[in-house]
Structure 1
Amino acid sequence: MWWRRTLSSSYRCYLGRRRSGAKIWRCLTRATCSAPALPAGRITALQALDVWKRHFVENGVTEPEQSSQYIIAHLLGAKTIESVEQQRLAALLSKEETQQVWRLCSKRLSRMPVQFIIEEWDFRDLTLKMRPPVFIPRPETEELVELVLTDLQKRPGSAEAPPTCLEVGCGSGAISLSLLKSLPQLEAFALERSQDAVDLSRENASRLGLQDRLKVYHMDVIKDAEKMPGLFSSISVLVSNPPYLFSEDMATLEPEISRFEDCAALDGGEDGLNVIRQILTLAPDFLSNRGRVYLEVDPRHPALIRRWVEDNVEELRFVETRQDVSGKPRFCILQKEESHKAPEVDQD
């Protein structure tokens, strides 16, 4: 869909591709604007597109043409405006259709993301339900899934021990569900601190027929750490797109994010590593030997993570950093190794 490809453009408008530093997060907040008056007579879809494109431009709404196109395409039962027949675009809208266009496009004036307005989101080969305040998956996270898939396809497991995946912070369920769809033998578990996100993940799993292979736990990886021993063991892969923004960047978020998405899914603390450090501390207890951790991170993080793991988690080895499609160091891969500590000898 548009936001998945063209709207990496979309996230230049309010998230960019999460480039390092605060500049990309610059906020362009404007006062909420009023909608244009409903037309006195009937108009066509093409005329509605033009009215709303111009109104979005005048009011500083990002991606004005694409915003109007995809909202109106959605109301016409399509995913893209290109897939709507020209005859339908040139036909007069009914009064009810015109009112629906005005209602949904007015939400975009408030800077609500289109994904929330049309209530769905394409992620790789899945269409997921979306609603605020659950974090919207970004294009980079599709790349994270590809990395994990490549690894798991090399290590398919066996009938007695199928591969398993643990996702920390599952949001809408995008990562786990995409992995499950691609790997029929995979079993997945997910942790999520937000009840809204837990509910949405379970709903998406049910809609996709994957509810029997994904178990979602309403747990906070930091606050509920003591409850986790015994829940997960011998996991093949731990994957996470955790909160990783530096706290100082939170005040500069675009209104599409700050007004509508769960800020706790973004704020990683002073250095962006609060949740990441906790994940890496717990990972050796969850992973099988040579099991791997895959993290999406800020481009400033890989060197910090490598040093911290070397100093604090003996059983994890930093394997490599991978770049995203824009060339930013975005993904960290770590692997569990056997501890080299000598066993303690009982002197009694």
Structure 2
Amino acid sequence: ILVLVLSSQYIISHVLGEKILECVPRKRERERVWELCSKCLTRMPVQYVIEEWDFRDLTLKTKPPVVIPRPETEELVSLVLEDLGLMQEESHTTDLRSLEVGCGSGAISLSLLRSIPQLRVFALDQSQTAVCLTMENANRLGLQDRLDVHHLDVIKDADVILSKCKPVDFLVGNPPYLLSQDMDTLQTEILGFEDNSALDGLSVICLILALSSKLLTQRVYLELAPYHPPVIQQLIEEMRLGLLYLETRCDLTNRPRFCILQKKGEDEVI
């Protein structure tokens, strides 16, 4: 019930065209509110109901089944921006290139583009719907000129990705990280509406690490599950990819969430 009440508040704000409730809706607005609230009764996430959501300083279009940007991902962007800022102060580099694997709605790439004027981003996703949504958001925000989005699958199209994207200064992503056995425990709002293939799979992370070793000049930033950091450290050692595990950062709930890796043998910084 509480979720529905909160969702209804977002819906009313959306119909009124305001971010904050300031007035009581008129009759036609009340009818529109009821229409959208009816969708919430089907357990559709409010982000899909109102077809947009705020991410940092951006308002992004949302569409099922593309995964909805999470608060933790905002933390990932902040981490990357802070790290890059420190490295740029040391090197005075003017041009940067990055790759995002699994761009979804474009939240990560577009936030980075908005904050770093000298950045060019290559983004890819296995879902054509996600690719189109990222481009739609980029066009709405006026960031399309520095963004290349490709409909590519990291599992099937590794060679194509290498030819199109190499080299990049850093790779950033929020890849699938739930275990298959945990999928049945997800909320109906997630399991019934979001792309499950974008939520499940450690194999994708292994492929991202393998790609990173071939096209990276500097660092990898990944948002993962709290149980993943030691797994990633072990993979780095076993796969012998020429990557160094730098550190694990915690999210606001103090859970180990973000992994930072560096390419070995690179003394230069961005």
Pick the aligned partner of 1:203 from 118, 133, 136: 136
Pick the aligned partner of 1:180 from 79, 103, 113: 113
Tell whether the 8 Å contact from 1:74 to 1:80 is kept in structure 2 after alignment.
Answer: no
**What is the aligned partner in structure 1 of residue 166 from structure 2?**
233
**What is the aligned partner in structure 1 of residue 200 from structure 2?**
267
**What is the aligned partner in structure 1 of residue 185 from structure 2?**
252
Pick the aligned partner of 1:316 from 240, 243, 248: 243
Tell whether the 8 Å contact from 2:44 to 2:189 is kept in structure 1 after alignment.
Answer: yes
Deviations 1:138-185 (A, max 9, x none): 0000110011111221233667x6011100000000000000001111
Do the aligned partners of residues 164 and 334 (structure 1) sit closer, same or farther apart at CA in structure 2, a change above 3 Å counting? Answer: same
Gapped regions of structure 1 (runs ≥ 5):
1-56, 340-348
Pick the aligned partner of 2:263 from 333, 336, 340: 336
Amino acid at match of 2:207: Q
Q: How many percent identity over aligned positions?
A: 57
**What is the aligned partner in structure 2 of residue 343 from structure 1?**
none
TM-score, L = length of structure 1: 0.73
Amino acid at match of 1:80: I
Larger relative strand fraction? 2
Amino acid at match of 1:331: F
Name the count of aligned residue pairs: 264
Following TM superposition, by how much is the alpha carbon of 1:278 offset from its aligned partner in structure 2, in angstroms? 0.5
CA RMSD of aligned residues (A): 1.5
- Of 144-153 and 323-332, the range deviating more from structure 2: 144-153
**What is the aligned partner in structure 2 of residue 151 from structure 1?**
83
Deviations 1:260-292 (A, max 9, x none): 111111011xxxx2111110011011111xx00
**What is the aligned partner in structure 2 of residue 124 from structure 1?**
56
Is 1:133 aligned with 2:65? Answer: yes
**SS of corresponding position for 2:144:** coil
**What is the aligned partner in structure 2 of residue 287 from structure 1?**
216
Q: Deviation above 4 Å: which 4+ runs of structure 1?
A: none
Taking the aligned partners of 1:228 and 1:127, their CA distance within structure 2 comes to: 29
**What is the aligned partner in structure 1 of residue 253 from structure 2?**
326
**SS of corresponding position for 1:167:** strand
Following TM superposition, by how much is the alpha carbon of 1:220 offset from its aligned partner in structure 2, in angstroms? 0.4
Taking the aligned partners of 2:199 and 2:96, their CA distance within structure 1 comes to: 29
Taking the aligned partners of 1:316 and 1:203, their CA distance within structure 2 comes to: 35
Taking the aligned partners of 1:226 and 1:211, their CA distance within structure 2 comes to: 25
Tell whether the 8 Å contact from 2:178 to 2:199 is kept in structure 1 after alignment.
Answer: yes
Pick the aligned partner of 2:34 from 87, 102, 107: 102
Larger relative helix fraction? 2
Is 1:213 aligned with 2:153? Answer: no
**What is the aligned partner in structure 2 of residue 191 from structure 1?**
124
Larger Cα Rg: Structure 1 or Structure 2? 1
Following TM superposition, by how much is the alpha carbon of 1:308 offset from its aligned partner in structure 2, in angstroms? 1.1
Amino acid at match of 1:252: T
Is 1:223 aligned with 2:156? Answer: yes
TM-score, L = length of structure 2: 0.94
**SS of corresponding position for 2:206:** helix
Tell whether the 8 Å contact from 2:213 to 2:241 is kept in structure 1 after alignment.
Answer: no
Taking the aligned partners of 1:145 and 1:97, their CA distance within structure 2 comes to: 36
Taking the aligned partners of 1:226 and 1:184, their CA distance within structure 2 comes to: 29
Amino acid at match of 2:229: P
